[in-house]
Structure 1
């Protein structure tokens, strides 16, 4: 057994029921390995085992967002430096595969490289956002399946049944089927009613999830939720991508790469260009894409940018790639180093004092009454517009 002054590194090969840990010193010499259960007592025993060999410098854990999530959280709570180790590819396993081999490989990797990714924490309110978002996503898929089944059954139904629902919209169809009272021998109609009620129930579940996400996202990142074209779902997804410890993402460039919007060189010969990044978190990429699409349609500054880049000969895909990167930079700042949201609770009383309606104000600024209302209630953020709006109200006093 080495002395307690020895610096040691550990690697953990994680599984559902057990974790295998291996310990090495700074020279890569094997000091010992063993297996522990995935319980709180097992985590305590694992850390104690590693500590017996010397001073723990770093521990590399595989699967920090799955089987290793519990161990990662425990080690961080014990102030142990934890790094995420990527499982080796099949081609890299020249020496075979076993739990000890993988654990020692993780230990050597974390000892040789301090720049390994910092694990994303799966706890706190961001974790609540993640699980609520995933539950909503599965509910949407299940609701779509219910509608597809209803349409399929009606397609092959007898003509008299099919004709009675032919000209109904989807919303009317669900309402009529859910309220129907089929006879006991009308199996098809009973199944259609059951599917329609399932569709309605899932709709209520989706709405409830959105309400919960609105509360959580505003609580975690109020500045993000009030930015232009960033709604509840897009904000929730971007917060999940950043994690409960967003400081692990050390730069705007790193966040852009994480979201799959960092430019990738695609030059050849005399052609100098970049292409879209097809890596990264695809859900975060979808969120940025949705923000860009809304801003291209509704945001004047974004539309001017699109017009200018189009005049320069840029295609739509290239312009959107650039816009995604700009939005990723903005989101990174709003999550990591946000400016304080300026107060807007004085706007509505000022407007009422002037006996102005939302429509009158909207007509003056050539915008929608909904935008004015959202800014007054603090549900949307546009600092430049808010300043102009307040100036307009004060001038009319």
Structure 2
């Protein structure tokens, strides 16, 4: 078996082929356009048909490459950047370059044979694109609101103090009327421009949320039935998971989400620490669900209290991590049930 590791970039892709022992067989760099992908496939054909493609998980730059490879029937595995970096630092070759990174990607895939396999899921991709767009608009609106508050404080501090939530259309309309009544000036005009921008962004965000809700409801009724999971959170989970069938078990999914505990102990005193790896977008969703359930869902509080009783020396954060691990199992089962 031959593994081809790829270090993807915006304008080019570098591939390195290794054998089962991790020995480098060949290296190839191609452009990321259609001709480059054809040359890459022709180059890989020399190594036979039993090929596994390992691609560094680069958000945005590797999607087209992976879709093309899967479309030809290839087996593709995503390699997290942390795994690639660990393999690169443990190698005898010093330095950093595209061929070195591609070699590290291939060796990481050999070391971790249980990495999830990529597959085409257009619905999950559409949801991820929509949620990414919404998050981008929310960030832009937040930045505009921050600028607006500085202008309001300079114009009249009372204007800022009397409008705490500047995402509501009614508050924005009231504030626009108050600013329009002020004496003309550059700061006043800039403030009105920001108010118009915030209003437009809010309308776009609301429209995206309606689209996400319409798409998610028929796809994930079981997932939406979990306390703390709304349409936006469900869309984020589905989009970032990109197919629950990629994961062989709840434990594998927990490792992907970064909720699986990391053992850090010796002798006879088991101890676990925070897992800082995994998909942090999914981890954030599960964290929000856990916080919501602790506030509004008695079974979650009971689970935390029971776990704390059984682990008297554990911290409050450790109990929260245990709840997140439990919720990961629940989400995994819900996603599996929604497939039927």
- 1:129 aligned onto 2:127: yes
Shift of 1:205: 1.7
User: Take 1:303 and 1:183, find their aligned partners in 2: how far apart are those partners?
Assistant: 52
Residue 204 of structure 2 corresponds to 205
Shift of 1:266: 4.9
Q: 1:182 to 1:92 in 2, by over 3 A?
A: farther
Residue 332 of structure 2 corresponds to 332
Compute the TM-score of the two structures, normalised by the length of structure 1. Answer: 0.71
What SS class does the counterpart of residue 55 from structure 1 fall into?
Answer: coil
Contact 2:144 2:194 in 1 (8 A): yes
Residue 225 of structure 2 corresponds to 226
Contact 2:75 2:117 in 1 (8 A): no
Shift of 1:35: 2.7
What SS class does the counterpart of residue 68 from structure 2 fall into?
Answer: helix
Residue 370 of structure 1 corresponds to none
Residue 293 of structure 2 corresponds to 295
TM-superposition CA deviations, 1:116-147 (whole Å, max 9, x none) = 52354575121111121122222222222222
User: Take 2:36 and 2:100, find their aligned partners in 1: how far apart are those partners?
Assistant: 20
Q: 1:298 to 1:91 in 2, by over 3 A?
A: closer
Task: Indicate the structure whose relative CO is greater, using CA pairs within 8 Å and at least 6 residues apart.
Answer: 2
Which one is further off, 176-185 or 249-258?
A: 176-185
Q: 1:164 to 1:254 in 2, by over 3 A?
A: closer
User: Take 2:276 and 2:10, find their aligned partners in 1: how far apart are those partners?
Assistant: 31
User: Take 2:135 and 2:186, find their aligned partners in 1: how far apart are those partners?
Assistant: 30
Residue 214 of structure 1 corresponds to 213
Contact 1:260 1:282 in 2 (8 A): yes
1:75 aligns with one of 64, 69, 74: 69
Which one is further off, 257-266 or 329-338?
A: 257-266
Residue 180 of structure 2 corresponds to 181
User: Which structure has the larger Rg?
Assistant: 1
Shift of 1:337: 3.7
| CA-atom RMSD in angstroms | 3.2
Contact 1:83 1:116 in 2 (8 A): no
Contact 2:76 2:118 in 1 (8 A): no
Structure 2 unaligned blocks of 5 or more = none
Between Structure 1 and Structure 2, how many residues are aligned?
329
Q: 1:123 to 1:184 in 2, by over 3 A?
A: farther
Contact 2:219 2:338 in 1 (8 A): no
Contact 2:209 2:232 in 1 (8 A): yes
Shift of 1:280: 2.3
Structure 1 unaligned blocks of 5 or more = 1-6, 341-397
What SS class does the counterpart of residue 156 from structure 1 fall into?
Answer: helix
- 1:87 aligned onto 2:81: no
Residue 390 of structure 1 corresponds to none
Which of the two has greater helix per residue? 2
Q: 1:8 to 1:154 in 2, by over 3 A?
A: closer
Contact 1:182 1:190 in 2 (8 A): no
Residue 261 of structure 2 corresponds to 263
User: Take 1:317 and 1:136, find their aligned partners in 2: how far apart are those partners?
Assistant: 30
1:47 aligns with one of 41, 44, 53: 41
What SS class does the counterpart of residue 321 from structure 1 fall into?
Answer: helix
Q: 1:263 to 1:166 in 2, by over 3 A?
A: closer
Shift of 1:25: 5.1
